[in-house]
């Protein structure tokens, strides 16, 4: 599905580029002038200035005003011709040689024409030596930029076909992106769950897709159900929400997201406060500039942190999020530069098209990841169920049979060492059962069980000393780690007894310098040295430690001071940062 979505986006963007290339003017302008007037085609007090297409302007008044464009091009040969105007910002009217060709002006209702081309047919008459005069009056409002895009003149058949292609392409593109964004968002919301970072990211991205789809639907409506300026403000809110949600998705995939909550919350409050400011107090254009500059700056910070996170911990999901929202940021910066520059019409804004497309890919990828995660969770549930069955068997069958064996041994066997061995085995079974039955245990609790177990061996005369710091109570171990620690300690003690003839074995727990880790040492005063091989006890200890994500070291200082060191990293330590 991701592959086909990517192909669809490539095709759509290729069509968009071809359409943009086809919308260039067909005739070089002899002169193009512009002036702002109080009424359409009213040149009183008008001071024309030379401009180039596409062009935009910011009305200087407090209410609606008009921009009057006058374009002179070489007069075509006689016959039926047509004119294609690539977008008005608001409604307007068009005259050719003083004859009204398009009249979208309604004194009772202002409409939007921003995203759709306009076509008008006319017949060419008059002196061929005189230029063809085209006049366009565009209504504007100080709350937004106004202007026109490119203008193309040609034969009726050619312009008609070009108009149909451009209109069909843009309507189908926006409608397809809107439908795909809404569908992806709704599916993502149904699949996602509030628990887990991946699921939370999917939920936020799904809302992002929904708002992007609403933004596309907003662009489809040329005659809004209420005041056109409020309708444009509604589109601004949607776009700002998309930007904030995009930042939130990128931030969700970064470690230590708690550090980002305060600056993100402040940025969101600032954006919403700016959007609520009335136009009577602050220039609306300044509000728009401040809103999207703020969003862009925060997005650049978050993307920078995401780059660092992916560099330190490369993973497919993080790389995918970085790619998608990096593209969002690049297109946002491009459109911001376009907004501050001269060009603001005629397809120069690219985020309108790229934003929903990349979000659809993000939702599809995250939904696929969520489905995979759900399968993993089901597998874990099955593994947990099997573990519980194994624990019941260990307790009900093995444990009870060992107890019965110990009872009969006390009556029929006179060897105390044999009876002690059976009791030690019973205690070890219970200890393993306890470690596996809980999701996590502390190192202190584990060592207490081991100390009790070894106190029963040899009538309490076993040469083992315990030097445990209170810090051991703050080391949290998973069930697998607990079993690995038990096996490593048992193997180290057994090696010291069997191979080095140690008289004293010391088990010590202490904090490393600067409390960056906790070290468990099994120290013996026996003879010999550590000779780890590819197999055997020492190799098994290394393998167990690696699987439990612990660091095992063999330290040898002199003939009477050897130690097996087991290092616990600080993420297992509760409160390591604030000891």
Mean pLDDT of all residues in 95-102 = 88
**Spatial separation of the C-alpha atoms in residues 45 and 61, rounded to whole Å:** 15
Q: CA of 9: how far to CAs of 2, 16, 181, 361, 537, in Å?
A: 11, 10, 13, 10, 58
Whether omega before 387 lies within 30 degrees of 0, making that bond cis, reads: no
Residue 34 — very low, low, confident or very high, per pLDDT cuts 50/70/90?
Answer: very high
When the pLDDT of each residue in the chain is averaged and rounded to a whole number, the result is 75
Q: According to CATH, what is the number of the domain 25-149?
A: 2.60.120.260
Cα–Cα nearest to 120, from 103, 133, 132: 103
What is the third-level CATH fold of 414-572?
Answer: Heat Shock Protein 90 (3.30.565)
Give the three-state DSSP class for 447.
helix
Q: CA of 368: how far to CAs of 254, 260, 357, 466, in Å?
A: 20, 27, 17, 51
Question: How much of the chain, in percent, has pLDDT values that exceed 90?
Answer: 3
Tell me the per-residue pLDDT of 338-365, one tens digit each, with 9 for 90 and over.
777 755 554 567 776 677 777 777 777 6
Cα–Cα nearest to 471, from 577, 551, 576, 565: 576
Res. 93: pLDDT tops 80:
yes
Mean pLDDT of all residues in 537-563 = 78
Tell me the per-residue pLDDT of 271-299, one tens digit each, with 9 for 90 and over.
878 777 776 677 777 888 888 888 888 88
Tell me the per-residue pLDDT of 502-546, one tens digit each, with 9 for 90 and over.
778 888 888 876 667 788 888 887 776 665 555 567 788 888 888
Confirm if 364 and 275 have CB atoms less than 8 A apart.
no
């Amino acid at each position: 599905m991701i592959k086909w979505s990517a192909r669809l986006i490539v095709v759509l963007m290729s069509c968009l580029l071809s359409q943009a290339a086809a919308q260039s003017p067909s005739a070089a302008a002899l002169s193009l002038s512009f002036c702002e007037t109080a009424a359409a085609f009213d040149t009183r007090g008008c001071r024309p200035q030379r401009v180039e297409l596409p062009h935009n302007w910011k009305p200087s008044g407090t209410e609606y005003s008009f921009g009057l464009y006058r374009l002179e091009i070489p007069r075509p040969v006689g016959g039926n011709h047509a004119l294609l105007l690539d977008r008005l910002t608001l409604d307007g009217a068009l005259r050719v040689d003083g004859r009204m060709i398009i009249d979208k002006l309604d004194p009772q209702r202002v409409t939007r024409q921003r995203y759709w081309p306009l076509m008008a047919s006319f017949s060419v008459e008059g002196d061929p030596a005189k230029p063809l005069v085209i006049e366009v009056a565009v209504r504007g409002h100080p709350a937004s930029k106004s202007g026109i895009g490119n203008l193309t003149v040609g034969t009726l058949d050619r312009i008609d076909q070009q108009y149909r292609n451009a209109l069909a392409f843009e309507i189908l593109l926006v409608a397809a992106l809107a439908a795909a964004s809404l569908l992806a968002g709704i599916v993502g919301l149904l699949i996602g769950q509030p628990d887990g970072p991946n699921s939370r990211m999917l939920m936020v991205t799904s809302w992002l897709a929904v708002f992007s789809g609403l933004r596309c639907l907003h662009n489809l409506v040329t005659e809004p159900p209420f005041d056109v300026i409020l309708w444009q403000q509604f589109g601004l809110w949607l776009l700002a929400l998309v930007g904030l949600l995009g930042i939130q998705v990128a931030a969700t995939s970064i470690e230590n997201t708690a550090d980002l909550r305060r600056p993100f919350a402040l940025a969101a409050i600032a954006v919403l406060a700016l959007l609520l400011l009335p136009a009577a107090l602050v220039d609306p254009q300044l509000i728009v500039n401040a809103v999207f500059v703020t969003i862009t700056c925060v997005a650049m910070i978050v993307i920078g942190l995401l780059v660092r996170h992916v560099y330190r911990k490369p993973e497919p999901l993080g790389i995918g999020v970085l790619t998608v929202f990096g593209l969002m940021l690049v297109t946002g910066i491009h459109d911001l530069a376009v907004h501050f520059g001269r060009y603001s019409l005629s397809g120069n804004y690219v985020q309108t098209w790229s934003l929903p497309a990349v979000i659809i890919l993000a939702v599809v990828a995250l939904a696929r990841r969520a489905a995979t995660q759900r399968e993993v969770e089901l597998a874990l549930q099955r593994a947990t169920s099997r573990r519980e069955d194994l624990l019941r068997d260990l307790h009900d069958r093995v444990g009870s049979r060992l107890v019965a064996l110990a009872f009969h041994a006390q009556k029929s066997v006179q060897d105390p060492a044999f009876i002690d061995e059976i009791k030690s085995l019973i205690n070890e079974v219970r200890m393993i059962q306890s470690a596996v039955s809980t999701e996590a245990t502390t190192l202190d609790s584990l060592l207490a069980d081991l100390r009790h177990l070894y106190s029963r061996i040899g009538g309490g005369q076993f040469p083992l000393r315990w030097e445990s710091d209170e810090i051991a109570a703050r080391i949290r171990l998973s069930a697998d780690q607990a079993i690995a620690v038990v096996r490593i300690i048992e193997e180290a003690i057994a090696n010291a007894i069997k191979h080095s003839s140690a008289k004293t074995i010391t088990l010590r727990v202490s904090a490393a310098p600067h409390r960056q880790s906790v070290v468990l040492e099994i120290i013996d005063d026996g003879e010999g040295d550590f000779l780890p091989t590819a197999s055997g006890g020492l190799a098994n200890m290394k393998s167990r430690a690696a699987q439990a994500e612990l660091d095992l070291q063999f330290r040898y200082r002199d003939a009477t001071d050897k130690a097996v060191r087991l290092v616990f990293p600080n993420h297992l330590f509760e409160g390591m940062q604030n000891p």
